[in-house]
Amino acid sequence: MRNNALKAAFRQQTPIVNGWLAIPSSYSAEITGHQGYDCVTVDMQHGMIDFASAVTMLQALSATPATPLARVGGNDPTQIMRLLDAGAWGIICPMISTAQEAQQFVSACRYPPQGNRSYGPARALLYGGKDYPSYANDEILTLAMIETREGLKNLNAILATDGLDGVFIGPNDLSLTLTGSASAESQHPEMLAAVEQVLAACREHHKIAGIFCTSGQAAAARLTQGFHFVTPANDVMQLGRAGREAVALSRGEIPAATGSSGY
């Protein structure tokens, strides 16, 4: 049995730092997995990653200390099933706006009787061991993304979903819907209130509060604020930033400031 270290970390109130991969490369995944992240997410929503690449990335991650996760493109039971079969130890599902959607998401991650995941654990058996089917329902992490006005309105009902481990704020989408402009570190009063609302609701329901951030500094501030699960930018943002900095330093210039969405 392979315990999900992220669930244990949450029980012990240890912060979880999550890497985020949008570049379809097993080599990038392997490098990222060795940098000290608690977990690394393969992004099938906005990343350039197809299923074949995701499998090689999950394979690469499973040779590192990081727990492999995937963000799916949508609340699609078939994609969720295939990524779990491929060895993802948790799923982040975007755009969850109602309790019914949260229930559908969690069901797709759980074998009967708790859910309706079809049986065929394939690579999950190689990563988790032969007894995977008997413990997968307890160990697979489920995080619903809160990034719509409706999701915020239904937050308590979403968090009450049995088997849901927590929520993950998509700050670009949430600020887009609340304020009309996408910004991962928005200081708009409505966005600040929304973030506090999510934190308070997670405390009340004893569930994980996660959020995407644009940098390590921003992630540190979110942990201080009370989040348990932070993503300090993705591989594209980090590569772009490192490149800009190298060029600017080479030319003796000051590195350009990053945009509001972090890219």
Which residues belong to the active site? 46
Q: How far is the CB of 147 from ligand 3PY (least distance, A)?
A: 5
Binding mask 121-160 for Mg ion (x = CB under 5 A): --------------------------x-------------
Binding mask 160-199 for Mg ion (x = CB under 5 A): ----------x--x--------------------------
Confirm or reject binding of residue 210 to Mg ion (CB under 5 A): no
- CA Rg, the chain, in Å? 18
Which residue, 87 or 210, has its beta carbon nearer to ligand 3PY?
210
Which residue, 115 or 171, has its beta carbon nearer to ligand 3PY?
171
Confirm or reject binding of residue 30 to ligand 3PY (CB under 6 A): no
Q: Which of 4, 41, 53, 172 binds ligand 3PY (CB under 6 A)?
A: 172
d(CA 231, CA 25): 19
Q: DSSP characters for 151-203?
A: HHHTHHHHHTSTT--EEEE-HHHHHHHHHSS--TT---HHHHHHHHHHHHHHH
Confirm or reject binding of residue 147 to ligand 3PY (CB under 6 A): yes
Phi then psi for 100, rounded to 5 degrees? -65, -40
Determine what percent of the chain falls in helix, strand and coil, rounding each to the nearest 5.
Answer: 45, 15, 40
- Classify the phi-psi angles of 99: left when phi > 0, otherwise alpha if psi is within -120 to 50, otherwise beta: alpha
Contacts with ligand 3PY by CB under 6 A lie at: 94, 147, 170-173, 184, 212
